Amino acid sequence: MTTAPVDVDSARRDYAALVGRGLSLDITRGKPSPRQLDLSADLLTLPNGRYKAEDGTDTRNYGGGAKGLPELRRVFAEALQVPVDQLLAVGNSSLELMHDAVVQSLLSVLPGGERRWADEPRVAMLCPVPGYDRHFHLAQRFGIELIQVPMTEAGPDMDVVERLVAEDAGIKGIWCVPKYSNPTGSTFSDDTVRRLAGMATAAPDFRIFWDNAYAVHHLTDDEPVLADVLALCAEAGNADRAFVFGSTSKITLAGAGVGFFGASAANIAWWSGLVAKRTIGPDKVNQLRHALFLKDADGVRAHMRKHAEILAPKFAAVDRILTEELGGSGLASWTRPAGGYFITLTAPEGTAKEIVRLAKEAGVALTPAGATHPYGDDPADATIRIAPSFPEIGELEEAVRGLVVCLRLAVAERA
């Protein structure tokens, strides 16, 4: 990339003016905006006196299905590409299910495994980077070693993944956000999914943590179709390889959602046996109101189009400002995702931390530089995650213009 020189004096003047405005803006986390939450306002009154599930279960009481209500599992089976009888609706978010999956794998021998992960001399997970910080923190908290692999536009670099998992039996899993990935927005290609499903792994109990958080979160009408990981794993003779996760967090109410876990019949039996010790059952009233509200897969599609109407102009605004301010300068590149919640901005090497620091001083909160990498360490110090969803468009535009001012100053002072 040829980088245009930045004039230090004008960069300093622009930054001083930015600080002088006393902004207080936040584009750190991928939260839905209040307008998006309003789309699900009906959930605040549903189930409107009803409490019987379709099979007559009294949702107010204990009992009636630890798997979650069939009518809700049916709504999400298509989007998550999991047969209904292998899909559980449990908990109020997917992160807690990923946490439980890691903990249960540490403490109980997985189908296909020889011993508990906790009894292995070493447990490591592959982390495509840039990736989602909460995956990394979760694994790190249990002493799991994090190994970076590069992301490409088609998913993780499979040449690297295949080589590592074939030779190292300590590698027990890989974190994947297969559609509109956090934070690059890329969707795994069919070839990537097929190779993940079929690759030879030294660990017999290797698991793909398939976090399909953005399965239905399109920003355009051009919706990529993700290959069916469970089917491909089964076809390749690795039926137990994938754990599929999803949730309604960014579909309905992020703070009052439903989590989903999908896997092979053997994995589901393993999970259900363990979870029966932990809970008598999920929140069926919440599941009932979600089923009544969303109705079916078409209901989800129609609802997500309303989200897209709110979100797409925000993503477009970020792209427009970055193009106006930085296009052709060689100072940065950024992603133009067709879905999901994030844009990745790649700044010149060695500047991301300084950009984030300058922005903070100027009242623009950005996700900490390095958060997209294991141990908070982006070796190139170049990746910045932009989360456009929460602020209203005027504030978002101000924040992105402020970010550009900080980028220019960081580059100018480094030169």
Q: Which of residues 256-275 bind ligand PMP (CB under 6 A)?
A: 259
Q: Is residue 247 at the binding interface for ligand PMP, with CB under 6 A as the rule?
A: yes
Taking Cα atoms as reference points, which of 293, 295, 292, 282 lies closest to residue 59?
282
> How do 259-262 and 87-90 pair as beta strands?
antiparallel
Choose one: 10-18, 42-50, 88-96, 325-333; the region binding ligand PMP (CB under 6 A): 88-96
Q: Spell out the residues 6+ positions from residue 309 whose beta carbon is closer than 8 angstroms to its own.
A: none
Q: Which residues pair with 339 in a beta bridge?
A: 218
Q: Which of residues 109-148 bind ligand PMP (CB under 6 A)?
A: 132
Q: How many Å apart are CA 262 and CA 400, to the nearest integer? A: 38
Q: How many Å apart are CA 190 and CA 187, to the nearest integer? A: 9
- Block residue for tokens 């006393």: 22
**Which C-beta is closer to ligand PMP: that of 213 or that of 263?**
213
- Closest approach of Cβ 120 to ligand PMP, in Å? 26
Q: Which of 39, 87, 95, 369 binds ligand PMP (CB under 6 A)?
A: 95
Q: Which of 36, 81, 182, 367 binds ligand PMP (CB under 6 A)?
A: 182
Q: Please, where are the H alpha helices in 144-282? A: 158-167, 190-198, 229-235, 265-275
**Which C-beta is closer to ligand PMP: that of 294 or that of 362?**
294
Q: Which of 14, 205, 211, 283 binds ligand PMP (CB under 6 A)?
A: 211
Rounded to the nearest 10°, the torsion over CA 130, 134, 136, 142 is 180
Strands lying side by side in the sheet with 242-247: 87-90, 259-262, 242-247, 207-211, 171-176, 124-129, 145-152, 155-156
**Which C-beta is closer to ligand PMP: that of 247 or that of 383?**
247
Q: Is residue 57 at the binding interface for ligand PMP, with CB under 6 A as the rule?
A: no
Q: Which residues pair with 261 in a beta bridge?
A: 88, 245
Q: Is residue 383 at the binding interface for ligand PMP, with CB under 6 A as the rule?
A: no
Helices (H) and strands (E) in the chain, counts: 13, 13
Rounded to the nearest 10°, the torsion over CA 111, 113, 119, 125 is -90
Q: Which of 146, 213, 300, 311 binds ligand PMP (CB under 6 A)?
A: 213
- Closest approach of Cβ 94 to ligand PMP, in Å? 3
- Closest approach of Cβ 32 to ligand PMP, in Å? 10
Q: Is residue 93 at the binding interface for ligand PMP, with CB under 6 A as the rule?
A: yes
Q: Is residue 30 at the binding interface for ligand PMP, with CB under 6 A as the rule?
A: yes
Q: Which of 177, 199, 244, 406 binds ligand PMP (CB under 6 A)?
A: 177
Choose one: 46-54, 89-97, 188-196, 316-324; the region binding ligand PMP (CB under 6 A): 89-97
Tell me the number of residues near ligand PMP by CB under 6 A: 12
Interface ranges with ligand PMP (CB under 6 A): 30, 93-95, 132, 177, 182, 211, 213, 247, 249, 259
